[in-house]
């Protein structure tokens, strides 16, 4: 019997360590029983500990991937991750503006968890002008929100004001992630159509942080593809991310040190076992 599942696309970079980017998105889509498509914008030589090199895919090839997939599949939701350059941002926006029915989740990837830059400076203006106003929701972390607003966000008291300003500026919903603020709990704020939703989680003392932003945005995209409301999609995504963090694992690196990873694969195995019962 043929099954029908929702289709979502990730437009993002390829992470050879499979912890973030396209690879993390596909694992997440599979967990949520969504058929995942990919358009690769960059090939990144990286691990959770280092970004060694970024190799942009030519813009024409990125556009060809996206156009082909939109013509061939009934895509209902799209997530953008690492877009790297102004040329990539504007080209992606130009294609997506002709598909207004899509649920678009924009994760404005700018800096890796290692601190390495993943966005050319000129691309920020392109994000502001072209892509962010098209989104159903944008998912900046603190550093990204500060870059978009041009102001510092120093504590939880300033989090809501910053999220509301972003929502007004770009005419979209905003999930502002406050995990980098100090404190025993992590607070994320969703502003959607003027309403504020607070998501508070106990801070987990784990080594895995590589790919958390990609995984969260991909999970929101998958839930939206299933027809969930945005607040429910965020709640489901937060629950999924929390589980991957609590079940994270580590590898001893032959070059010395340790590499930590989110444990999405264990969840996938459990899902498969449960389905077979």
Sign of CA dihedral 169, 170, 173, 179: negative
> Rounded to a whole number, what is the largest CA-CA distance in the chain?
55
Phi/psi for 132 (5° steps) reads -60, -40
Cα Rg of the chain (Å, integer): 18
Look at residue 134 and give its three-state secondary structure. helix
Nearest alpha carbon to residue 17 among 48, 62, 56? 48
Query: In this predicted structure, what is the pLDDT of residue 78?
Result: 98
Query: In this predicted structure, what is the pLDDT of residue 178?
Result: 81
Alpha-carbon gap, residue 168 to 35, rounded angstroms:
33
Q: What is the pTM of this model?
A: 0.91
- The CATH number of 7-272, from 3.90.226.10, 3.40.1190.20, 3.40.50.150, 3.40.50.300, is 3.40.1190.20
pLDDT lower than 70: segments of the chain: 1-3, 113-115, 179-180, 182-184, 204-208, 264-277
Query: Burial code of 104-132, b = ≥16 C-beta within 10 A, e = fewer?
Result: bbbbbbbebbeeeebbbeebbebbbebbb
């Amino acid at each position: 019997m043929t099954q029908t599942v929702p289709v979502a696309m990730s437009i993002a970079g390829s992470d050879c360590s499979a912890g973030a980017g396209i690879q993390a998105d596909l694992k997440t889509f599979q967990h949520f029983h969504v058929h995942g498509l990919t358009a690769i914008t960059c090939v990144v030589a990286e691990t959770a500990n280092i970004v060694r090199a970024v190799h942009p895919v030519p813009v024409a090839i990125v556009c060809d991937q996206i156009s082909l997939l939109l013509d061939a599949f009934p895509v209902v939701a799209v997530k953008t991750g690492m877009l790297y350059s102004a040329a990539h941002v504007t080209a992606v926006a130009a294609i997506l503006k002709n598909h207004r029915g899509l649920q678009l989740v924009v994760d404005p990837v700018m800096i890796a968890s290692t601190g390495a830059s993943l966005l050319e400076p000129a691309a920020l203006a392109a994000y502001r002008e072209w892509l962010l106003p098209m989104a159903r929701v944008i998912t900046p972390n603190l550093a990204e929100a500060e870059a978009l607003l041009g102001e510092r966000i120093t504590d939880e008291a300033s989090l809501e004001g910053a999220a509301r300003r972003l929502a007004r500026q770009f005419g979209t919903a905003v999930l502002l992630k406050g995990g980098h603020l100090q404190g025993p709990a992590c607070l994320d704020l969703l502003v959607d159509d003027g309403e504020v939703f607070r998501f508070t989680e106990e801070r987990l003392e784990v080594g895995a942080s590589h790919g958390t932003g990609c995984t969260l945005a991909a999970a929101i995209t998958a839930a939206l593809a299933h027809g969930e409301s945005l607040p429910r999609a965020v709640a489901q995504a937060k629950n999924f991310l929390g589980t991957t963090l609590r079940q994270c694992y580590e590898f001893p690196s032959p070059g010395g040190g340790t590499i930590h990873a989110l444990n999405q694969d264990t969840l996938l195995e459990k899902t498969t076992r449960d389905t077979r019962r």
